[in-house]
Structure 1
Amino acid sequence: MRTIRMLASGSLLSVALLASACVSGPAPKNYAAFRSENPRSVLVVPALNATVNVDAADYFVSTISMPIAERGYYVFPAHMVKRLLEEQGLSDAGLVHQADASRFAPLFGCDSVMFVEIKKWESQYIVLSTSTNVEFEYTLKSCRTGQTLWSDTQAMSYSPRASNSGNPLADLIAQAIVSALEKAKPNYIPLTQQANLLATHTVGQGLPAGPYLSEQHGQDQSQFPIQ
């Protein structure tokens, strides 16, 4: 699990991560099962929310489709997926995550299913510091065999810092204000977007290029190897 403190903008962090992924970080995952299945589409089912924040799953679903699509896969519309699952008696995310992945193929014509569990979605206030934390566990399974094709975990934290004016008392007050504002309205969405981007785009750890990235599809074995 990789925990990153977000101190820069999302785009800068993404560029830095992707540029350095080939020269540092964990060893590449084994993509043998993924390559064998060669999925073209991804069905993202409602996230399983293991936190006390009842809105976490709804916020999360608004952030996950784009990064998967950017990797070259067709992603089924989230609201359509939720509606059809409800019609099948799968309105509860817990029931969805207990179902065999092969069950979804006849319903949607999908190749793979993305299950995400929200492990952490919280904002903690300690003295004059607020820390907003998210953690997600991603699992992509084959709709044909039910086999896990890919998995990843991302945890991220953000602690706002007031600028240093050189006046200790003023800086203390400013820090108290920015921490209180973060506590009142935690900055979950940028953190979640970054976590999803890291999970799906990191070389050797994320998703290999899909068929809708035609110039890269099947040409990135060295970055996403079969071991």
Structure 2
Amino acid sequence: MSRHARISAAAAILALLSACATAPRKDYSKFVAAQPRAILIVPVVNKTVNVDAADYFLSTLPIPVAERGYYVFPVNLVKRLLEDDGLADAALVHGADPGRLCALFGADAALYVSIEKWEAKYLVVTTQVNVEFAYVLKDGKTGETIWTDHEAMTYQPDSGGGGIIGAMVAAAVTKASPNYMPLARQANWKALSFPGPGFPAGPYRPEFGKDLGADTRL
């Protein structure tokens, strides 16, 4: 490794350590007080022009939430039952009383997600795929927000060493058929991971009640 590369790597590490040291700790006191066990994932609000984004993204949410140790209601069944109850539009669901929604299913908390970006931008010799999501968890008893997060992910295809022509071909392929799902799953993993911004262990994980310790601010 060259001297310049070593200096750059050291600077990056120092910047990361500095960011970690100064970043405010997330307050989990409301989350702990709510004691959620069963989480209702409601239909996703789509703020983009891609009409398929909401259904695709909704399908990526149950597994990471369940892997954190919480019971998750089947999202397609939830969507259908809400439609039968007069809440066919995701915006109406997000505007409804969380207590009412959770009572319909016997849930302890409701997870709301909005898609802020779901796009593929052509940049001459590359295509940049961007996704961005806002997450909110609300207590099913009080309606109070007990957890939030925001994630943005970007992907640009590699030309594979094909030079400008290879880069243009890769960009055209990505633009014609952008694959948003890996970015969506990566965003969910980052949002829900712990330690980090995500959910502490739920009742169906062995570390339940232990990962936070006595301090609910991590």
Q: If the TM-score is normalised by the length of the shorter chain, which range does it land in?
A: 0.7 to 0.9
Aligned to 1:36: 33
Determine the structure 2 residue equivalent to 1:6: none
Q: Is the 8 A contact 1:28 1:225 kept in 2?
A: no
> 2:158 matched to 1:172?
no
Tell me the alpha carbon deviations over residues 125-171 of structure 1, each in whole angstroms, 9 at most, x when there is no partner: 0111100000000000001000001000000000001122xxxxx51
1:57 maps to what in 2? 54
Tell me the secondary structure at the aligned position of residue 63 of structure 1.
coil
Q: 1:104-134, CA deviations, whole angstroms, 9 ceiling, x for partnerless residues?
A: 1321000000000000000000111100000
Asked whether the equivalents of residues 30 and 224 of structure 1 are also in contact (C-alpha less than 8 Å), the reply is no
Residue of structure 1 equivalent to 2:190: 198
Bigger radius of gyration, 1 or 2?
2
Does 2:177 match 1:182? no
Show the counterpart of 1:9: none
Unmatched runs of 5 consecutive residues or more in structure 1 = 1-19, 165-169
C-alpha contact 1:27 1:204 (8 A) present in aligned 2: no
Counterpart selection for 2:155 from 147, 158, 163: 158
Match of 1:10 in 2: none
Contact 1:203–1:223 (Cα < 8 Å) also in 2: no
Percent pairwise identity: 48
Structure 1 moving runs of 4+ over 2 Å: 23-28, 222-227
Higher RCO structure, 1 or 2 (CA under 8 Å, sep 6+) = 1
Q: Say which of 123, 136, 140 aligns to 1:139.
A: 136
Match of 2:20 among 20, 24, 30: 24
| 1:38-86 deviations in Å (ceiling 9; x for gaps) | 1001100000000000000010011010000000000000111011101
> Retained in 1: the 8 A contact 2:103–2:140?
no
Shift of 1:28: 2.6
Query: How far apart are 1:206 and its partner, in Å?
Result: 0.5
User: How many angstroms apart in 1 are the aligned matches of 2:34 and 2:209?
Assistant: 12
Partner of 1:78: 75
Determine whether 1:216 maps to 2:210: no
Q: Equivalent residue for 1:93?
A: 90
Task: Compute the TM-score of the two structures, normalised by the length of structure 1.
Answer: 0.84
Q: Give the conservation status (yes or no) of the 8 Å contact 1:28–1:205.
A: no
Instruction: Please give the root-mean-square deviation of Cα atoms over the aligned residues, in Å.
Output: 1.9
Contact conserved, 1:28 with 1:224, CA < 8 A, in 2? no
CA shift for structure 1 position 222: 4.6
- Partner SS state of residue 152, structure 2: strand
Residues 14-57 of structure 1 deviation map (CA, whole Å, 9 limit, x = unaligned)? xxxxxx99x93733300000000110011000000000000000
Tell me, which stretches of 5 or more residues in structure 2 are unaligned? 1-15
User: Matches of 1:136 and 1:113 in 2, distance apart?
Assistant: 16
Instruction: Pick from 123, 128, 141 the counterpart of residue 126 of structure 1.
Output: 123
Range that drifts further, 215-224 or 118-127: 215-224
CA displacement at 1:223 relative to structure 2: 9.9
Structure 1: how far apart are the matches of 2:93 and 2:71? 20
Q: Secondary structure at the match of 1:193?
A: helix
Count residues with an aligned counterpart: 201
